[in-house]
Structure 1
């Protein structure tokens, strides 16, 4: 009976379910270490714990489970027990998509099945299939022979997807996701690198971004029993041309003239001290093979250090974060973060002449000492004397005019607000595509307006978003030959359309024999791909490189969804409601003053509505310019946020509203009637507008 009871207890122990995912599987490479706390009757997978959205590490390394306190884990189990998994529909889903607007929650195994991406770095975010990060194929290849996975050497289709990844460094390594994850689990942190170009840092960063887990331990082959046993076997043989030891070349003593010294560099050759005529105090010897390379480098071996294990340090950095179910990033916040790289004490001068702002920007980029980390100081031809207020106004005016010139340049083609990159030989030769990307990055990060003129096709080609969309003939703009082929209703019409465009199709590599109407769709697809992607590879690559000034492209690539409106859609016309919400109203602490200010704040809102209805001499844009020196809300938003404050009649400021553009603030005098308020505000705004036009 006792052995049977022991078997039952053993079976019960091995069948314990993870409290978070409800599976009993013990697969460290897939779910992490399965950990059981017997005193608390608690079993969890480590990855389930890491990826859970409502728990974080608050304890020390030796507390709870690697710093996750037992009370916090139980609280997370209770929280997840109320959430239904969007995949299996069962309760207990603890992993949520990191995008704020997405409500998908899953168990970790269900997320793996549904192609979620789990990032084992930083805040340990998770992303559903719709919002997960993607790779961009900046150098798509058209191999004549099938490509193979650089790890398993089996066939791999060179199309980026969840299951197929690409090395970001050498652009020639393609991997199956399962293969690269297996390699990462085996090689671990210090040996995981690209199998082709051997890059480590950039490769690891990209694989972490794409959801590959890299264990922070020694490589698996170093964890085997007696893994370093061979290192204990030192070379013990005298390789002198003539060994004078009577006991043979392998005879050695601990010290004295018959001690064998090994080469100080290779360690693969040795000699008796006596055979090499070495004194007893000499401890270094170099063999004949290493001597030519070692001359002048006697201290080389002192500088060679093996990498530290680093396991404790890496564990210390694990998931030290506050609970966050969703990403809080917005384009404005990301642009503000990038703008923090710009020095406020170093300036680059931009002189705008009669040949325009685009020419001035190109001259800036061509300067030998150009540094994107410096602030800009812009001067226009009509500037007689440069003041701080004038420079602030120029900094707002310059990016706006620059973007207008850029979208109307030879680098872009297509209808307004739906521009594609145009192929221009001079632009390729002069590298204008890189300049254009750099100009856009600088404009956005320096507080410029939203772009709003990219076509969705161009955004797709640059950032591979939306992932499920396909390029169409409409994305090509005015392409008559492609439209004729697409609209052909019979084989005769199709052959006629192909014949009329045969020269173009031959150059594009799309010319083929037409046998039936079923040949039409593949042909149209190839034409679209050639026109928008293949022939534009170099311009697109250089444009991306320019966009990555100050790291902008990499951040957009991480969050392409939230940036699409900024690039592809013109900003909505400003309204009274938008303006009222844009300006924060600062009231006085004194109750008597506050009552008067509340009345004036009502006048302010009424005035905004009158401007929108056209019942005032000023427009909403005029008021925005008066307060901030900008006629449109910048892509990164305002910093600081626009505000309204009040001044009472006893103040020396007087009754005319004042502007404080450095703080994006309007100071309004307290008024007793709307007519007085309107009169004073109109006068101040109109006077400023008039001064700007002189």
Structure 2
């Protein structure tokens, strides 16, 4: 923190994780905090510094007691997990000046969700180079403190799954304006050990089965590179070694298959988790969360189908709007909402008392306006409360590679990775993304390549206008992905040219498409369509060629 306009405020972009022994006292925490901050911020003043709570009182005792500060005891007193704790350092000169300007006694209390402001959810700002890339492993005796996470909890520390606002105040949501999804994922990907691999043998006729076998294998490690081999229907290994392309296609197909699993319900573009006894026995909720985290951090796509409200709940953000697929329940809730008088509301609540009692929201009402609260409580229970155990297990899987931690710290940045978006690829976007590798200017070859490049631009527009091949299918042919992944494209996509073929060729590992040099656009388009439509795999199928 620093003194800004005579008010002590957190400095944006200076949040750092700190690995500590839970029994660390105030002096030890002060020493380690100052050392870490000065190690990673060469622009910091020499000090001296004071260790302070979020309310700017000095860290000496446990607030409200005479007990000397101890991290473990402080965690117990405030009822939060270690990764929800945030403490600050400030210059002693700022602290003394701030103290002299105020004679009011300040005390610490835990905030409800509606009281949280941006000071509690400071985003990492990469331009300040404040967040190191750490390879430190968590152990049972050490814990890691992250920037605080907003959670929906009562004053007694218990999470409330029955009463959640249907709509959140946008001003209360954390805003991440200084970091991109690609930067965040790149930081998470530092944990990947490229010297070890986890192997997957996949048949396109049953991607899910092969994926489950691979993830459950005792040798699987999310921190190892993924080595994917696709098998044809006859069981032989397809040509091509995985240098990135097969992995990208596998993760793309996996996210598509995951959407149809029975652990999800709701509209195709806004799915939420539901209790399924068979899936619990197979631990599929944990598996699904891990698959999503691994896909995103390893350069694949996000699911793009999870309900935004479910994502908000997982990330600890306020706000909720449920989906009800049961027609009978939907009719009952509609009757409650349509009650126009207190007497009619009381009658309809009594009519559906069994349903409401199951959710713990059957009550005596004294005004007709209370109908909205009853419906909100039931919707929250229906989507979150009754599925709480499976959501928590899903979160356990999502915590792989620290993705859940990053999601909670930067919800506005990473939530879109999990949710549906109406944004589609455009021909202009693809044309700008793929850089052409042209022969020297003035050469005969350059002239034919320029002609092919104009054909390529027209072909992209035809694909965008829903031709035989869509832009997503073209992108999949070249990269193994339907669209740009959250982590960005590596290596950068490019266009090359060849007189040795009359059909397109793609190297999905290099994100490269090789265009044929043909005389007319009509022939170019026909050969592009035929080659792409007849090359679904990584081998050579008919005339379209594709390798990983």
Structure 1 residue matching 2:535: 3-state secondary structure: helix
**649, 666, 674: which one pairs with 2:513?**
666
Contact (CA 8 Å) 1:358, 1:402: kept in 2 or not? yes
What is the alpha-carbon distance in structure 1 between the residues aligned to residue 428 and residue 451 of structure 2?
18
Tell me whether 1:552 sits opposite 2:385 in the alignment.
Answer: no
**Alignment match, 2:355:** 504
Tell me by how many angstroms 1:488 deviates: 1.7
Q: Which has the higher contact order (CA 8 A, sep 6+)?
A: 2
Query: Equivalents in 2 of 1:320, 1:678: separation in Å?
Result: 45
Q: Summarize the Cα distance change of 1:391–1:459 in structure 2 as closer, same or farther, 3 Å threshold.
A: same
Match of 1:214 among 75, 80, 89: 89
Which residue, out of 333, 357, 368, partners 2:183?
333
- Cα distance in 1 for partners of 2:519, 2:212 equals 53
DSSP 3-state at the match of 1:645: strand
Instruction: For residue 618 of structure 1, report the CA deviation from its aligned partner.
Output: 4.2
Q: After the TM superposition, which of the residue ranges 534-543 and 672-681 deviates more from structure 2? A: 672-681
Q: Where in structure 2 are the equivalents of 1:238-317 lying within 5 Å?
A: none
Which residue is 1:688 aligned to? 535
Once residues 599 and 108 of structure 1 are traced to their aligned partners in structure 2, the CA distance between those partners, rounded to angstroms, is: 62
CA contact 1:378–1:391 (8 Å) conserved in 2: no
* Superposition deviation, residue 619 in structure 1: 4.0
- 1:513 CA displacement: 2.3
Q: Using the TM superposition, give the Cα deviation of residue 421 of structure 1 relative to its aligned residue in structure 2, in angstroms.
A: 1.2
Tell me the residue number matched to 2:23. none
Q: 294, 309, 320: which is aligned to 1:471?
A: 320
User: Residues 655 and 669 of structure 1 are in contact (CA less than 8 Å); yes or no, is this contact kept in structure 2?
Assistant: yes
Q: Which residue of 2 aligns with 1:310?
A: none
Q: Which residue is equivalent to 1:193?
A: 71
Does the C-alpha gap of structure 1 residues 492 and 464 become closer, same or farther in structure 2, counting only changes over 3 Å?
Answer: same
Alignment size in residue pairs: 419
Q: 2: CA distance between counterparts of 1:602 and 1:401?
A: 32
Distance 1:415 1:327, change over 3 A: closer
Q: Deviations over 1:345-373 (max 9, x none)?
A: 42323344799433433333333333111
Relative to structure 1, the CA distance from residue 557 to residue 205 in structure 2 (aligned partners, 3 Å threshold; closer, same or farther) is closer
Q: CA deviation at 1:548?
A: 1.0
Alignment partners' CA distance in 1, 2:483 and 2:212: 25
CA distance, structure 1, for counterparts of residue 221 and residue 428 of structure 2: 40
Of 232, 240, 256, 1:388 maps to 240
Change (3 A) 1:358 1:681: closer
Contact 2:54 2:88 in 1 (8 A): no
1:628 has 2:479 as partner: yes
Separation (CA, whole Å) in 2 of partners of 1:443 and 1:582: 22
Query: 2:35: which partner in 1?
Result: none
Distance 1:655 1:518 in 2: 70
Equivalent-residue separation in structure 1 for 2:415 and 2:81 (angstroms): 27
CA distance in 1, matches of 2:422, 2:74: 45
- Flag the 1:197–1:430 CA change in 2: closer, same or farther, 3 A: farther
Alignment partner of 1:434 is 2:286: yes
Given candidates 317, 321, 343, the residue that maps to 2:193 is: 343
Distance in 2, matches of 1:321 and 1:390, equals: 37
For residues 665 and 517 of structure 1, what CA distance do their matches in structure 2 show? 63
What is the match of residue 463 of structure 2?
611
Specify every segment of 5 or more residues in structure 2 that has no aligned partner in the other structure, as ranges. 18-51, 63-67, 96-125, 132-175, 543-548
**CA–CA distance in 2 between the matches of 1:546 and 1:662?**
28
Which one has the largest radius of gyration? 1
Q: Judging changes above 3 Å, is the alpha-carbon distance between structure 1 residues 389 and 687 closer, same or farther for their aligned structure 2 residues?
A: farther
1: CA distance between counterparts of 2:404 and 2:487? 15
Structure 1: unaligned runs, 5 residues or longer: 1-30, 32-46, 49-106, 124-176, 221-318
- Corresponding position of 2:207: 357
Pairwise CA distance, 1:686: 5.1
1:665 Cα offset (Å):
1.1
Q: Evaluate the alpha carbon distance shift between residue 428 and residue 121 of structure 1 in structure 2; reply closer, same or farther with a 3 A threshold.
A: same
Secondary structure at 2:487's aligned position in 1? coil
Query: Are residue 369 (structure 1) and residue 216 (structure 2) matched?
Result: no
* The one of 492, 496, 504 aligned to 1:641: 492
For residue 336 of structure 2, give the secondary structure of its aligned residue in structure 1: helix
Q: 1:491 offset after TM fit, Å?
A: 2.5
Q: Which deviations, in whole Å up to 9, do the C-alpha atoms of 1:305-363 show, x marking residues without a partner?
A: xxxxxxxxxxxxxx995699x96532233323333433334232334479943343333
**TM-score relative to the length of structure 1:** 0.52
CA contact (8 A) 2:300 2:481 kept: no
SS for the counterpart of 1:607 is helix
| Contact kept in structure 2, 1:378 and 1:398, CA below 8 Å | no
In the alignment, which residue of structure 1 is the partner of 2:267? 415
Whether the 8 Å CA contact 2:229–2:241 is kept in 1: the answer is no
Distance 1:556 1:599, change over 3 A: same
Secondary structure, counterpart of 2:199 in structure 1: strand
SS in structure 2 of the partner of residue 659 of structure 1: strand
SS of 1:536's partner is helix
Cα deviation, 1:127-175, whole Å, max 9, x if unaligned, reads: xxxxxxxxxxxxxxxxxxxxxxxxxxxxxxxxxxxxxxxxxxxxxxxxx
For residues 405 and 669 of structure 1, the distance between their equivalents in structure 2, rounded to whole angstroms, comes to: 34
Equivalent residue number for residue 7 of structure 1: none
TM-score scaled by length of structure 2: 0.64
Would the alpha carbon gap of residues 500 and 109 (structure 1) be closer, same or farther in structure 2, given more than 3 Å must change? farther
Q: How far 1:662 moved relative to its partner?
A: 1.9
Equivalence map 1:457-496=2 (5 Å): 457-465=309-317, 467=318, 470-472=319-321, 474-478=322-326, 479-480=329-330, 481-496=332-347
Partner Cα separation in structure 1 for residue 308 and residue 389 of structure 2: 19
Q: Note closer, same or farther for the CA distance 1:517–1:352 as it changes in structure 2 (3 Å cut).
A: same
- Structure 1 contact 471–528 (Cα < 8 Å) conserved: no
- Cα distance per residue 1:241-274 (max 9 Å; x no partner): xxxxxxxxxxxxxxxxxxxxxxxxxxxxxxxxxx
The separation in 2 between residues aligned to 1:677 and 1:378, in whole angstroms, is: 32
- Compared CA separation, residues 628 and 503, structure 1 to 2 (3 A): same
TM-superposed CA distance for 1:567, in Å, is 1.7
